[in-house]
């Protein structure tokens, strides 16, 4: 914008330098000499080569050294990329002579590579913010001229026209997939707009004569805002129920999950209703559970003697000492004899309820460490350590229990 | 027996009536969605309409899961009423924890492009760490909440995978009860989640802008059960 | 507004579990009213036709709602039945309140000698699960258990199986003493 039709030698030299830089910078995007890359993996290869140069120090690298440093990448691929990078001047001989084998790498392509990756990953938001910050710095500098303001404003106007155009075109005619892929363009737009507005305010206050340029920026910003809205609306409409969630970044979700309070989280479901827990317990299930509990009792548990030395009975669940009343029961049942059939005892009890209670008492008496009575079953199995209680077999209740009476 | 059932099924012959009742029991009491092939009342579109009519009378509706399974869920209009009344078994902390599981197991995998479709169930576990260590929720209340959510089928313990399960404790997945969300509810849940996670985003603005127009629709449809009970909710 | 009352009541039950309402209020179609012993309130419970009840799942080979610790939970429910259903020849609702310690006693008797702390923890977890689903009513402060309204959904045939189970269970230990 400063150059007239006649270029000076300095300017020509300067242009040549710029062109050289451009060539270097775009080397990383060259598929081969003269064509854009189509395979993003080539970027990884370029990065590996440039990394190798960074690590090699001032001696530089030969092609073979680069291949070795880039293992396990295919040597053929390294050779080809090496040539492309050299064609574009991103890599050059350390000394420009025919037999020179050592090369050095320019730093600009590497910076460009990083920049491109960031741009690709984050949609260029951060770069735009940085650019706006720089513009702000430049228009607030004490020695800034009206030309600075004008350049800044027209640059911003163009940027936002570009952004707005891209979104408007996308919103008008693309699929949800295409829109979703460009969703990053939509995020953080408020921040961008307000940053641009700040620059705008500075310029307008400082150089009121730039009113026309500033108006153009305002129009561009408004158009961008509209385009964002339209594209977002379309995105939601098109995304339907299958893609909407994917339109927010992982970072957004994580930060929500980690910073939101209980009300914010729960509020998501304020308008939803779910079933209350309603498990079904069939009588058969209850019966089976009870039976299996009894079985498991002796299979995997230590002797069922709650009052054994290892586990003293908690007072809140068992009468302090029922030995006396149990002994009374035992004596009443046995009378003068030494043994009595359980079935007889139960028959005498009258109803099932009483019989059941009596059976529980007999079991308790049997297990009581201070009482020398024994409950055995007709199949020979005792209700004690090695035994397996059988609640259907006939049994005998008798005095004396060899191991515990001692 | 029950007047509701009688009047809903009055026109059916005995066989179809039994089929509808069996399907009703399978969908309403079952843990998981039921394969269409297993029950006549799901397979046969005509009988399925009778099943839908019965469910509708009871505030429920058929919900299609994938292309071959069915379950039942709340009618969308009924949900709106019940939510407004606060008729719910889940406490605030329960809901907060459920939302966390949904973010980690569904929203994030969708953002990563790992999952497609609109289901709120998922095979991507949410670690207990993620629920207890990295959130603002009162730590001691999270495990009881998870237990209650498990009881309601809203979360489930992820099947252990190698060592991770041993070292990190159990991980959670959204439970089978989430299959019961209707298509409309599934979409609404996505929108609510976006509104909460990124309220200032243009996406949220777009969702809000669409709201007033979208809201009356289910109510209007519900006003005419005769036409809306059957096909409307057989979403795909 | 346009939603039928029946649909709302049934859906409410589905969303919030059995609902306790003032005695004179609602009488929704197809729902059983379970009157509280003091007649201060009624519980509403859907009445399902025989072949639409949860036991149909078994016939169809489909899994029902999953329960944590299903066996212990079922045992504690059995223990609650044993302690609260004082007249097993009669209806299961409303039965009578019982101290939770009695329930633990029966639970202990049918599960054997576990470590006491583990036993109490298992019983507490189970009774909370049961209370959360309306199978029992549990007052944690007074540690008193009652049968919940959901027990009224057992059919007559099922109740006779439960009576048998009841008779096979040991009496609450402190109840007799």
Q: What is the pLDDT of residue B182?
A: 95
DSSP C112-133: -S--HHHHHHHHHHHHHHHHHT
pLDDT for residue A192: 85
Quick one: pLDDT band at residue A164, thresholds 50, 70, 90?
Answer: confident
The position carrying tokens 């008193």 is C144
Strands (E), A26-141: 30-32, 35-36, 91-93, 103-105
Q: Provide the pLDDT for residue A318.
A: 31
Q: Which residue has the higher pLDDT, A249 or C145?
A: C145
Locate tokens 């009206």: which residue?
A146
At A188 the pLDDT is 62
Q: Given pLDDT bands bounded at 50, 70 and 90, which one contains residue A390? A: very low
What topology is assigned to A19-118 in CATH? Arc Repressor Mutant, subunit A (1.10.10)
| Residue C139 within a domain | yes
DSSP string, A169-205: HHHHH--HHHHHHTGGGGTTHHHHHHHHHHHHHHHHH
Task: Output phi, psi for B156, to 5 deg.
Answer: -145, 160
- What's the confidence (pLDDT) of residue C98? 96
Out of B82, B219, B223, name the one closest to residue C15 (CB). Answer: B82
Q: What is the mean pLDDT of residues A355-367?
A: 73
Per-residue pLDDT reduced to its tens digit, C7-63: 999 999 999 999 899 988 878 888 999 999 898 999 999 999 989 999 999 999 999
Residue C52 lies in a domain: no
Interface with chain C: mutation pick from B12, B28, B50, B95, highest number of C CBs within 10 Å: B28
What pLDDT sits at residue A391?
40
CB of B167 less than 8 A from some CB of A: no
The answer to whether the Cβ–Cβ distance between B83 and A272 falls below 8 Å is yes
- More confident of the two residues A267 and A84: A267
In the predicted model, what is the mean pLDDT of residues B107-133? 87
pLDDT at A99: 86
- Note whether C172 and C86 are same-domain residues: yes
Confidence tier at B169 by pLDDT (50, 70, 90): low
Of B166, B175, B167, B188, nearest to B125 (Cα)?
A: B175
pLDDT higher than threshold 90 for residue A374? no
pLDDT for res A292: 87
Compare CB distances from A282 to C114, C129, C158 and report the shortest one's residue. C158
CATH 1.10.10 fits A322-406, yes or no: yes
pLDDT, residue B139, reads: 87
Q: Over 80: is that where the pLDDT of A378 sits?
A: no
DSSP C64: B
Q: Is the pLDDT of residue C65 over 70?
A: yes
Beta-carbon separation of A266 and B136 below 8 A: no
Q: What is the mean pLDDT of residues B170-190?
A: 93
Q: Same domain for C107 and C160? A: yes
Cβ-contact A244, A183 below 8 angstroms:
no
Q: Is C57 on the interface with B (CB under 8 A)?
A: yes
What is the structure's pLDDT at A207? Answer: 95
Look at residue C65 and tell me if it is in a domain: no
CA distance C129 to C73: 8
pLDDT digits (tens, 9 = 90+) for A275-306: 999 999 999 999 999 998 876 544 333 333 33
- In this structure, is residue C55 part of a structural domain? no
The pLDDT value recorded for residue A279 is 95
| Average pLDDT of chain A, as a whole number | 74
Mutate to test the interface with A, among B55, B90, B149, B197 (most CBs of A within 10 A): B197
Nearest-by-Cβ selection for A360 from C64, C165, C171: C171
- The answer to whether C51 and B22 have CB atoms below 8 angstroms apart is yes
CA distance A92 to B233: 68
Spatial distance between the Cα atoms of A51 and A32, rounded to a whole number of angstroms: 20
Q: Are residues C89 and C171 in the same domain?
A: yes
pLDDT above 90 (res B44): yes
For position B168, what pLDDT does the model report?
55
User: First-to-last CA distance in chain B?
Assistant: 34
- The tally of domains found in chain C comes to 2
**Lowest model confidence (mean pLDDT) among A31-40, A109-118, A209-218, C141-150:** A31-40
With CB atoms and an 8 Å threshold, state whether B89 touches C62. no
Residues B91-98, mean pLDDT to the nearest whole number = 96
Neighbours of chain A (3+ CB pairs under 8 A): B, C
What's the pLDDT score for residue A201? Answer: 94
Query: Residues B47-76: what's their mean pLDDT?
Result: 95
pTM over 0.90: no
- Is pLDDT above 70 for C106? yes
User: How large is the angle between the packed helices B142-151 and B92-102, nearest 10 degrees?
Assistant: 80
pLDDT at B231 over 80: no
Write out chain B residues lying below 8 Å of C8, CB-based: 59, 78, 81-82
Which residues on neighbouring strands pair with residue C158, listed in sequence order? none
The alpha carbon of residue A190 is apart from the nearest alpha carbon of chain B, in Å, by 8
| Residue with the larger pLDDT of the pair B144 and A111 | B144
Contacts B206 to A, Cβ<8 Å: 229, 232-233, 235-237
Mean pLDDT of chain B: 85
Mean pLDDT of A325-338: 73
Domain B3-83+218-228 has CATH 1.10.10: yes
The ranges of chain B annotated as CATH 1.10.10 are 3-83+218-228, 92-217
Task: Give just the sign of the alpha carbon dihedral B224, B230, B235, C5.
Answer: positive
State whether residue C54 sits within 8 Å of chain B by CB: yes
Beta strands A339-341 and A395-399, pairing class = antiparallel
CATH fold group of domain B92-217: Arc Repressor Mutant, subunit A (1.10.10)
Mean pLDDT, chain C, whole residue set: 91
> Is the pLDDT higher at B227 or at A216?
A216
Q: What is the pLDDT of residue A273?
A: 96
- Tokens representing residue C107 in the block: 């639970």
- Which pLDDT value is given to residue C172? 87
Boundaries of every domain in chain A = 19-118, 123-242, 322-406
> Where residue A353 falls among pLDDT bands split at 50, 70, 90?
low
Cβ partners under 8 Å of residue C66, min gap 6: A279, B31, B150, B153, B156
Which chains pack against B, by 3+ Cβ pairs within 8 A?
A, C
Greater confidence, A336 or A208? A208
Residues B131-143 have a mean pLDDT of 88
Contacts of residue A133, Cβ cutoff 8 Å, sequence gap at least 6: A195
Question: Residue C101 and residue A317: Cβ atoms within 8 Å?
Answer: yes
Residue with token string 């309220």: B199
DSSP state letter for B106:
I
pLDDT tens for residues B79-94?
A: 999 999 988 889 999 9
Q: Among A106-115, A380-389, B40-49, which is the least confidently predicted range?
A: A380-389
Half-sphere exposure of B127 (CA within 13 A, CB side): 11
Query: Is the pLDDT assigned to residue B35 strictly greater than 90?
Result: yes
Domain that residue C27 falls in: 5-47
Closest chain A residue to C13, measured at CA: A276
The predicted structure's pLDDT at residue B205: 84
Residue B214 has pLDDT above 60, yes or no: no
Q: What is the pLDDT of residues C68-101, one digit of tens each?
A: 889 999 999 999 999 999 999 999 999 999 999 9
Q: Which two tokens stand for residue B194?
A: 């976006």
Residue A253 has pLDDT above 50, yes or no: yes
Interchain contact, A283 vs C81, CB within 8 Å: no
Domain assignment present for residue C127? The answer is yes
Best of B185, B202, B236 to mutate (most A CBs within 10 Å, chain A): B202
> Exposure string (b/e) for C81-98, b if CB count within 10 Å is 16 or more?
bbbbbeebeeebbbbebb
Weakest-pLDDT range from A328-332, A399-403, B72-76, B198-202: A399-403
Same domain as C168, residue C136: yes
Q: How many Cα atoms are found within 13 Å in the side-chain-facing hemisphere of A14?
A: 6
Q: What is the pLDDT of residue C11?
A: 95
User: Which segment, A62-66, A325-329, A366-370, B29-33, is predicted with the most confidence on average?
Assistant: B29-33
ipTM: 0.94
């Amino acid at each position: 914008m400063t150059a007239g039709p006649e270029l000076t030698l300095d300017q020509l030299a300067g242009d040549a330098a710029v062109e050289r830089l451009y060539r270097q910078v775009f080397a990383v995007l060259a598929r081969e000499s003269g064509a854009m890359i189509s395979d993003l993996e080539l970027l990884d290869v370029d990065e590996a080569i440039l990394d190798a140069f960074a690590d090699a120090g001032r001696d530089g690298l030969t092609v073979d050294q680069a291949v070795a440093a880039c293992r396990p990448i295919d040597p053929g691929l390294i050779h080809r990329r090496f040539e492309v990078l050299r064609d574009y001047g991103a890599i050059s001989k350390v000394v420009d002579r025919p037999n020179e084998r050592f090369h050095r790498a320019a730093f600009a392509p590497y910076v460009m590579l990083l920049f491109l990756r960031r741009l690709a990953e984050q949609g260029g938001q951060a770069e735009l913010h940085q650019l706006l910050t720089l513009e702000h710095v430049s228009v607030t500098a004490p020695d800034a001229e009206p030309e600075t303001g004008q350049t800044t404003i027209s640059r911003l106007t163009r940027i936002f026209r570009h952004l707005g155009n891209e979104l408007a075109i996308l919103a008008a005619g693309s699929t949800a997939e295409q829109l979703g892929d460009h969703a990053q363009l939509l995020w953080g737009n408020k921040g961008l707009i307000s940053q641009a507005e700040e620059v705008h305010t500075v310029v307008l206050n400082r150089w009121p004569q730039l009113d026309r340029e500033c108006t153009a920026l305002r129009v561009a910003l408004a158009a961008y805002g509209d385009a964002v809205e339209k594209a977002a609306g379309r995105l939601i409409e098109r995304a339907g129920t299958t893609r909407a969630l994917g339109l927010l970044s992982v970072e957004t979700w994580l930060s929500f999950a980690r910073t939101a309070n209980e009300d914010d989280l729960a509020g998501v479901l304020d308008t939803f209703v779910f079933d209350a827990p309603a498990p079904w317990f069939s009588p058969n299930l209850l019966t089976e559970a009870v039976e299996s509990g009894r079985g498991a009792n002796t299979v995997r548990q230590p002797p069922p003697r709650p009052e054994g030395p290892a586990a003293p009975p908690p007072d809140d669940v068992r009468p302090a000492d029922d030995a006396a009343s149990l002994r009374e029961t035992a004596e009443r049942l046995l009378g003068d004899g030494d043994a009595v059939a359980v079935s007889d005892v139960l028959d005498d009890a009258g109803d099932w309820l009483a019989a059941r209670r009596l059976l529980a008492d007999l079991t308790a008496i049997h297990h009581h460490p201070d009482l020398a009575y024994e409950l055995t079953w007709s199949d020979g199995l005792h209700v004690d350590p090695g035994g397996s209680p059988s609640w259907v077999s006939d049994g005998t209740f008798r005095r004396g229990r060899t191991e515990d009476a001692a | 027996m029950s007047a509701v059932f009688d009047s809903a099924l009055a026109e059916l012959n005995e066989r179809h009536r039994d089929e509808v009742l069996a399907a009703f029991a399978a969908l309403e009491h079952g843990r998981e969605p039921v394969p269409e092939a297993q029950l006549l009342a799901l397979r046969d579109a005509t009988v399925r309409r009778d099943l839908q009519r019965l469910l509708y009378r009871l505030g429920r509706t058929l919900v299609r899961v994938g292309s071959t399974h069915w379950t039942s869920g709340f009618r969308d209009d009924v949900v709106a009423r019940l939510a407004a009344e606060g008729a719910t078994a889940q406490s605030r902390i329960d809901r907060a924890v459920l939302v966390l599981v949904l973010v980690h197991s569904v929203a994030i995998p969708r953002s990563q492009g790992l999952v497609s479709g609109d289901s709120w169930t998922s095979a991507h576990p949410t670690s207990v760490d993620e629920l207890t260590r990295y959130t603002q929720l009162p730590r001691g209340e999270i495990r009881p909440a998870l237990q209650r959510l498990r009881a309601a089928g809203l979360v489930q313990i992820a099947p252990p995978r190698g060592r991770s399960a041993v070292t990190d404790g159990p991980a959670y997945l959204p439970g089978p009860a989430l299959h019961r969300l209707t298509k409309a509810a599934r979409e609404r849940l996505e929108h609510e989640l976006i509104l909460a996670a990124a309220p200032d985003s243009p996406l949220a603005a777009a969702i809000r802008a669409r709201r007033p127009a979208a809201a009356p629709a289910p109510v209007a449809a519900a006003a005419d059960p005769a036409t809306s009970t059957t096909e409307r909710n057989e979403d795909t | 507004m346009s939603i039928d009352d029946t649909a709302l009541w049934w859906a409410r039950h589905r969303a919030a579990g059995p609902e306790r309402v003032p005695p004179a209020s609602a009488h929704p179609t197809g729902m059983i009213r379970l009157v509280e012993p003091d007649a201060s309130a009624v519980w509403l419970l859907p009445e399902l036709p025989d072949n639409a009840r949860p036991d149909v799942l078994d016939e169809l080979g489909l899994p029902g709602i999953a329960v944590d610790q299903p066996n212990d939970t079922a045992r504690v429910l059995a223990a609650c039945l044993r302690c609260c259903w004082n007249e097993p020849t009669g209806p299961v609702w409303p039965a009578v309140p019982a101290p939770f310690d009695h329930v633990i006693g029966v639970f202990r008797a049918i599960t054997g000698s576990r470590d006491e702390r583990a036993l109490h923890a298992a019983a507490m977890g189970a009774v909370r699960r049961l209370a959360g689903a309306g199978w029992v009513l549990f007052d944690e402060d007074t540690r008193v258990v009652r049968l919940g309204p959901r027990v009224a959904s057992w059919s007559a045939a099922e109740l006779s199986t439960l009576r048998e189970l009841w008779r096979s269970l040991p009496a609450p230990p402190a109840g007799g003493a």
